[in-house]
């Protein structure tokens, strides 16, 4: 029997040792710290300020009203990301006038936004009345470990507009995204370079969280070759290759994505072991690898599309190969889970879905694969491992 605790401790030691040797311990610390801070749910962040009773006790609006108006909060955070306020404050406190000048905004209106951002603990006003960035708001900076700025921009633009058509998605089963933007999401991102670049950067930043969740939960020892299917700019794949120097990797994605990924891969120590190949995973995949990795890919598709992708992995891999799907697993029953909200988001954005363990079992079986195990990680994601039937 595998000692799970010992295995996890060994994986932790391997990852930490690598980051210390390569001088990247700070990156690991920043990702873990920012990831923890950014996923923490604080009641004060979802509560409207409320009113004071005659006795001075704060009276909150009804909880249902607070939920219904929560987009006020998300759009305030989006505005902070769009204006780059965290980047402006990264070198020290600034007055409202200085910030307004930097972003070409109306000072009085900006003050009202900054007041809300202080309430949300993104920043704070010091004794001099200037605004300074604090820990909770640091992930809104661009280009730092644990950054969520690109993710917030994507959520505040593409997702926000699409969610306005949730009712239509529920009635028709079709993505609200298509109603707003006139086509499927990935086709739109391929044709609109600015939106596509922001989306892929958001996925790259998120992959920093995913990579540590995967590396601390799954032992890749003995795997000689891996194909990261739909791997974006390659953050997850290159993180794995860094820790496992015996491994060869292939990053596989659409041509526009691969063109941008090559520039990033060329600057990495593992560049000689990482090939970037353009193609369409709905048609075919590079053949003969030991492991095919699908992180955040299968949930973008309905069952028919997901089966096709998984079947292509099965047909391409070695006879004793494996498929790893890194995604949320929806718990049965009514227990609270982020995966249930994410599932609704997939309906609105792509027509895909999150799945229960039973649904993964059936999906893999239809693709000629057998579910071998589901491995939880220190994140909302799980690792679903499959082999040939």
Backbone angles phi, psi at 7, to 5 degrees: -60, -45
Task: Return the DSSP state at 3.
Answer: -
Q: How far apart are the first and last CA of the chain?
A: 23
Other CB atoms within a 10 A radius of the CB of residue 46 amount to 14
Alpha carbon distances (Å) from 231 to 9, 181, 257, 277, 320:
27, 24, 9, 11, 22
Kindly tell me the number of DSSP H helices and DSSP E strands found in the chain: 19, 13
Tokens 């009514």 identify what position?
334
Which of 18, 165, 174, 299 is flagged as catalytic?
A: 299
**Alpha carbon separation from 188 to 117, 178, 293 (Å, rounded):** 32, 9, 24
Residue 136 DSSP class: G
CA dihedral 354, 360, 362, 364 (to 10 degrees): 120
- Using an 8 Å Cβ cutoff, are 375 and 218 in contact? yes
Rg (CA), the chain: 22
The yes-or-no answer on residue 299 being catalytic is yes
Give, to the nearest 10 degrees, the angle between helix 4-21 and helix 193-215. Answer: 120
Contact 238, 268 (CB under 8 A): yes
CA distance 21 to 135: 27
DSSP 138: G
Is residue 55 exposed (0-12), middle (13-18) or buried (19+ Cβ within 10 Å)? Answer: exposed
Block residue for tokens 């295995």: 7
Q: How far is CA 8 from CA 21, 327, 368, in A?
A: 20, 19, 30
Distance, in Å, from the CA atom of 12 to the CA atom of 32, rounded to the nearest integer, reads 13
Catalytic residues: 299
């Amino acid at each position: 029997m595998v000692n799970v605790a010992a295995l996890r401790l060994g994986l932790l030691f391997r990852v930490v040792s690598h980051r210390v040797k390569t001088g990247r311990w700070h990156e690991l610390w920043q990702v873990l710290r920012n990831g923890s801070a950014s996923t923490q749910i604080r009641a004060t962040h979802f509560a409207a300020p409320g009113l004071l009773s005659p006795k001075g006790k704060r009276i909150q609006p009804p909880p249902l009203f607070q939920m219904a108006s929560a987009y006020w909060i998300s759009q305030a955070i989006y505005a902070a990301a769009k204006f780059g306020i965290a980047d402006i404050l990264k070198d020290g406190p600034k007055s409202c006038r200085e910030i307004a000048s930097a972003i070409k905004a109306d000072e009085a209106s900006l003050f009202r936004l900054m007041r809300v951002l202080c309430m949300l603990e993104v920043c704070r006003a010091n004794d001099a009345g200037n605004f300074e960035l604090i820990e909770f708001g640091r992930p809104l900076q661009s280009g730092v470990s644990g950054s969520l700025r690109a993710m917030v921009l994507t959520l505040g633009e593409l997702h926000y507009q699409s969610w306005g058509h949730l009712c239509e998605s529920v009635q028709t089963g079709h993505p609200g995204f298509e109603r707003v933007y006139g086509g499927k999401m990935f086709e739109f991102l391929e044709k609109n370079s600015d939106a596509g670049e922001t989306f892929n950067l958001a996925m790259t930043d998120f992959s920093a969280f995913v990579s540590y969740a995967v590396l601390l939960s799954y032992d890749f020892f003995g795997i000689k070759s891996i194909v990261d299917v739909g791997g974006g700019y390659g953050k997850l794949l290159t993180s794995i290759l860094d820790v496992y120097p015996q491994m060869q990797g292939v990053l596989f994605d659409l041509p526009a994505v691969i063109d941008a990924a090559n520039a990033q891969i060329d600057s990495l120590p593992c560049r000689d072991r990482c090939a970037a190949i353009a193609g369409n995973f709905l048609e075919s995949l590079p053949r003969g690898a030991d492991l095919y990795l699908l992180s955040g890919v299968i949930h973008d598709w309905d069952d028919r599309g997901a089966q096709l992708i998984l079947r292509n992995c099965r047909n391409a891999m070695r006879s004793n190969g494996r498929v790893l799907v890194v995604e949320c697993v929806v718990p049965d029953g009514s227990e609270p889970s982020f995966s249930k909200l994410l599932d609704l988001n997939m309906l609105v954005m792509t027509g895909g879905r999150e799945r229960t363990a039973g649904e993964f079992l059936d999906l893999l079986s239809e693709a000629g694969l057998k579910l071998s195990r589901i491995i939880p990680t220190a994140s909302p994601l799980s690792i679903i491992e499959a082999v040939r039937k």
